[in-house]
């Protein structure tokens, strides 16, 4: 099923060189295949253990599983893969929403244009800086900036916002990396955005089913399915090194969406020799004035959600998987082990939500309202190192260079030390006495377990420098 040709494309000239890459009919067939048997699952998990990824056929077989004991097998394999690639590291970040004005009318979103229940607000530069200071005071070093789409100087406003955030200082320290999740841009605009020293550009397709996409996106620029589908091509063509894709689970069959995400990743690898840096897996949550969020068209239960995350980890072993605070604290606790590598904590999606400590009236309802310190305490109890590292971005280990290190397993020699040292910085400057005590005990144990004497020596020296007052140390 082909929905676009070069002649029929309504997108930019840059998009015309790219062909449709989602095989809709084939993915729908795979999504509805019979449940895989024990032997097939065993063979696929054996291939996955080689950490070379899975094709859509293998992923579809794992997604077909319904029996709890087989789901547990898949999750155990995902846990092993995550441990091999990422070790004990869990990257921490916070979202920062700057405006809920939007000209789109997405039926699942609380910010949609026709939501008359929402009080519209756009933060001033001063208010953005105040939000940033709150997050710095909590220990955050990495932000995800989000905003609605208005079309009126969106890019110039975004650039001003990013510049202002990077200038904020709290006790001499500032935000070290900003990732950006905004509406699709042109190739020229992405080149302009790259000058702002951003990290990852993130944009969700929402649903890869074009017919359903049209039902949920009635009006506004976002109604153009293909403009969104090819946004990552434009971004990477413009020199954006790292991109993040995602789907909003609940808008279409979750098996189809997962397989489409994998085809999207394959396409970026084919075109740019580098797949997505991250994949996000949000589920639809209730949102004020958003009718689709009230009756989810394709509900995704917790077992299906567990399988989605595990299959993505096995299929894309080197790609970061992001889990937001949409999910409950209990489910997040479980999923931290089974493929997730980046998490938000202490999040607010309301405009001005950090300075006003406002948890409601946001883009969607939150399931985990715990503070960052509470989440960090739980991670330490689980044996994870909460990482505030941004070293790869600042050392140029991005895009294909990052993947070239990740695929042979070399990236862990940077991520592990940097994660430990950045966590020691957090514990020293921000943690309560209880969290500080158990956090440093975990660091001590992991340093002693380090098998490479050279890496162990580097970590010990860096920890001494942190104790002596140095900050922002990374390899």
pLDDT at 360: 67
Pairing relationship of beta strands 342-344 and 385-387 according to DSSP bridges: unpaired
> Does residue 393 lie within any of the structural domains?
no
Residue with tokens 């890869």: 208
Do 106 and 224 fall into the same domain?
Answer: yes
User: 11 falls in which pLDDT band (50, 70, 90)?
Assistant: very low
Residue 254, domain member (yes or no): yes
How many CB atoms neighbour CB 160 within 10 A? 14
Mean pLDDT of 418-423: 96
What percentage of the chain carries pLDDT values higher than 70? 95
Beta bridge partners of 99: 122
d(CA 81, CA 391): 23
* Residue at a domain's end among 370, 392, 419: 370
Q: Which of 348, 370, 392 is the last residue in one of the domains?
A: 370
Q: Is 460 helix (H, G, I), strand (E, B) or coil?
A: helix
Q: And the tokens for 187? A: 């190739």
Q: For residues 288 and 353, state if they share a domain.
A: yes
Q: Are 82 and 313 in contact (CB under 8 A)?
A: yes
Structure confidence at residue 13 (pLDDT):
45
- Distance, C-alpha 450 to centroid of its chain: 28
* 439 and 364 co-located in one domain: no
Has residue 358 been placed in a domain?
Answer: yes
Q: For residue 268, how many C-alpha atoms fall within 13 Å in the half-sphere facing its CB?
A: 31
Q: pLDDT per residue over 301-328, tens digit each?
A: 999 999 999 999 999 999 999 999 999 9
Residue 257 lies in a domain: yes
Is 16 a member of any domain? no
Full domain range(s) for residue 443: 406-467
Query: Is residue 343 within 8 Å of 334, Cβ to Cβ?
Result: no
In this structure, is residue 355 part of a structural domain?
Answer: yes
> CA-CA distance, 449 to 441, in Å (whole number)?
12
3-state class (DSSP) for residue 383: coil
Same-domain check for residues 435 and 331: no
pLDDT tens string 39-88: 999 999 999 999 999 999 999 999 999 999 999 999 999 999 999 888 88
Residue-averaged pLDDT of the chain: 92
Residues 160 and 262 in one domain: yes
Give the chain's domain count. Answer: 2
Q: Render 163-212 in DSSP notation, one character per residue.
A: HHHHH--BTTB---EEEEE-S---HHHHHHHHTT---EEE---B-S-HHH
User: Tokens 């690639």 identify what position?
Assistant: 85
Higher pLDDT, residue 161 or 151: 161
**CATH number of 168's domain:** 3.20.20.70
Residues 240 and 128 in one domain: yes
Mean pLDDT to the nearest integer, 109-124: 94
Question: pTM value?
Answer: 0.94
Is 127 in the same domain as 234?
yes
Cβ-based neighbour number of residue 152 at 10 Å: 9
pLDDT at 270 over 50: yes
Q: What is the rounded distance in angstroms from the CA atom of residue 274 to the CA atom of residue 230?
A: 15
157 pLDDT above the threshold of 90 = yes
CB 44 within 8 Å of CB 62: yes
State residue 238's pLDDT score. Answer: 97
Given this model, what pLDDT does residue 406 score?
74
- Do 103 and 252 fall into the same domain? yes
CA 146 from chain centre, in angstroms, equals 13
For residues 412 and 355, membership in a common domain is answered with no
Residue 361 is predicted with a pLDDT of 64
Q: Is the pLDDT of residue 2 over 50?
A: no
Same domain, yes or no: 333 and 459? no
| Contact in structure between 297 and 251 (CB atoms under 8 Å) | yes
For residue 187, tell me if it sits in a domain. yes
Same domain, 324 and 429: no
Structural domain ending residue among the three candidates 325, 342, 370: 370
Q: Tell me: pLDDT of 95 over 90.
A: yes
Q: Give domain status of residue 475, yes or no.
A: no
Residue with tokens 């995704």, as numbered in its chain: 300
């Amino acid at each position: 099923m082909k929905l676009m040709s070069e002649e029929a494309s309504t997108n930019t000239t840059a998009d015309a060189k790219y062909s449709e890459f989602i095989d809709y009919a084939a993915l729908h067939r795979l999504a509805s295949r019979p449940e895989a048997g024990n032997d097939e699952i065993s063979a696929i998990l054996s291939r996955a253990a080689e950490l070379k990824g899975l094709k859509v056929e293998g992923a579809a077989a794992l997604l077909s599983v319904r029996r709890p004991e087989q789901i547990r097998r898949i999750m155990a394999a995902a846990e092993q893969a995550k441990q091999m690639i990422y070790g004990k590291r869990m990257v921490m970040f916070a979202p920062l929403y700057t405006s809920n004005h939007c000209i789109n009318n997405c039926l699942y979103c609380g910010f949609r244009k026709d939501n008359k229940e929402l009080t519209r607000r756009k933060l001033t530069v001063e208010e953005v800086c105040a939000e940033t200071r709150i997050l710095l005071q909590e220990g955050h070093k990495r932000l995800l900036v989000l905003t609605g789409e208005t079309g009126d100087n969106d890019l110039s406003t975004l650039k001003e916002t990013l510049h202002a955030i990077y200038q904020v200082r709290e006790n001499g320290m500032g935000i070290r990396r900003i990732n950006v999740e905004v509406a699709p841009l042109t190739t020229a605009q992405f080149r302009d955005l790259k000058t702002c020293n951003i990290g990852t550009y993130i944009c969700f397709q929402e649903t890869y089913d074009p017919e359903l996409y049209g039902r949920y996106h009635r009006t506004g620029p976002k109604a153009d399915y293909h403009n969104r589908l090819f946004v990552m091509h434009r971004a990477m063509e413009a020199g954006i090194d790292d991109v993040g894709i995602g789907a909003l689970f609940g808008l279409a069959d979750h098996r189809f969406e997962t397989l489409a995400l994998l085809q999207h990743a394959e396409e970026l690898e084919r075109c740019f020799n580098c797949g997505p840096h991250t994949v996000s897996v949000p589920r639809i949550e209730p949102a004020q004035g958003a009718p689709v969020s009230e009756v989810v068209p394709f509900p995704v239960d917790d077992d299906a959600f567990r399988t989605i995350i595990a299959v993505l980890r096995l299929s894309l072993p080197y790609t970061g998987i992001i889990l937001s605070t949409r999910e409950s604290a209990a489910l997040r606790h479980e999923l931290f082990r089974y493929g997730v590598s980046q998490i938000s904590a202490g999040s607010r999606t309301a405009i001005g939500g950090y300075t006003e400590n406002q948890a409601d009236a946001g883009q969607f309802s939150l399931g985990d309202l715990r503070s960052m310190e509470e989440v960090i305490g739980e991670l330490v109890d689980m044996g994870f190192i909460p990482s505030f590292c941004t070293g790869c971005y600042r050392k140029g280990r991005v895009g294909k260079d990052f993947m070239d290190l990740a695929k042979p397993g070399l990236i862990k020699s940077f991520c592990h030390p940097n994660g430990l040292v950045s966590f020691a910085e957090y514990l020293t400057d921000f943690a309560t006495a209880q969290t500080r005590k158990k956090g440093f005990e975990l660091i001590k144990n992991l340093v002693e377990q380090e098998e490479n004497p050279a890496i162990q020596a580097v970590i010990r020296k860096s920890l001494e420098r942190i104790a002596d007052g140095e900050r922002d140390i990374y390899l």
